[in-house]
């Protein structure tokens, strides 16, 4: 299975030492060239070594420009790519998620990845990963975390 990703989930998964979850769940993570540029600005050595990542050029400039009115370039290109290839999209930014849903895209965030990984026994607990996300600057509403962990049979 393949997925299209925005920049921020890849950064937080890397910082939290959870990128292996993507490698276990997907055969390819497609990223637009603009997302690749963003990743390489921060962590070129790490992200260029990930075999699972594949940069793809987005051809629909009109759609991307229209989307850039409400989201950043990376999100716009990722949405356009996900639409073109009819693939789900990995995105965490709330405004971006709202736009992607309005476009009819199937979306998943880092918490969703943790749920799937736990369901498939790739990880035994989500809580340590969520704590790592928070420790690395990822904002998650406390009530959301409690509900999410409760749904997995874990406590915050």
DSSP 35-88: HHHHHHHHHHHHHHH-TTEEEE----HHHHHHHTTTS-HHHHHHHHHHHHHT--
Confidence of residue 110 (pLDDT cuts 50, 70, 90): very high
pLDDT of residue 61: 80
pLDDT (average), residues 108-127: 97
- pLDDT of amino acid 63: 85
Q: What is the mean pLDDT of residues 76-101?
A: 95
Segment (H or E) for 12: helix 7-15
Domain layout of the chain by residue ranges:
2-110
Mean pLDDT value of segment 92-105: 95
Residue 60 confidence (pLDDT) above 80? no
Hey, is 31 helix, strand or coil? strand
pLDDT value at residue 89:
98
Please tell me the distance from the alpha carbon of residue 112 to that of residue 151, in angstroms, as a whole number: 12
The arithmetic mean of pLDDT across residues 3-26, rounded, is: 96
How does the average pLDDT of the chain come out, rounded? 94
pLDDT of the residue at 42: 82
Pick the CATH number of 2-110 from 3.40.50.2300, 3.40.50.1010, 3.30.420.10, 1.10.940.10: 3.40.50.1010
Look at residue 62 in the predicted model and tell me its pLDDT. Answer: 86
């Amino acid at each position: 299975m393949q997925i299209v990703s925005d920049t921020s989930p890849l950064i937080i998964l890397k910082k939290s030492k959870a990128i292996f979850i993507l490698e276990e769940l997907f055969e390819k993570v497609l990223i637009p060239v603009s997302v690749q540029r963003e990743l390489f600005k921060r962590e070129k050595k790490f992200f260029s070594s990930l075999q699972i990542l594949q940069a793809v050029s987005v051809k629909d400039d009109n759609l991307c420009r229209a989307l850039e009115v409400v989201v950043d370039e990376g999100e716009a290109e990722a949405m356009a790519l996900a639409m073109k290839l009819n693939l789900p999209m990995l995105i965490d930014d709330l405004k971006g998620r709202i736009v992607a849903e309005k476009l009819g895209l199937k979306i998943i965030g880092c918490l969703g990845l943790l749920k799937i990984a736990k369901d498939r026994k790739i990880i035994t607990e989500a809580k340590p990963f969520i704590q790592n996300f928070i420790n690395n600057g990822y904002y998650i509403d406390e009530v959301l975390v409690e509900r999410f962990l409760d749904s997995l049979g874990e406590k915050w």
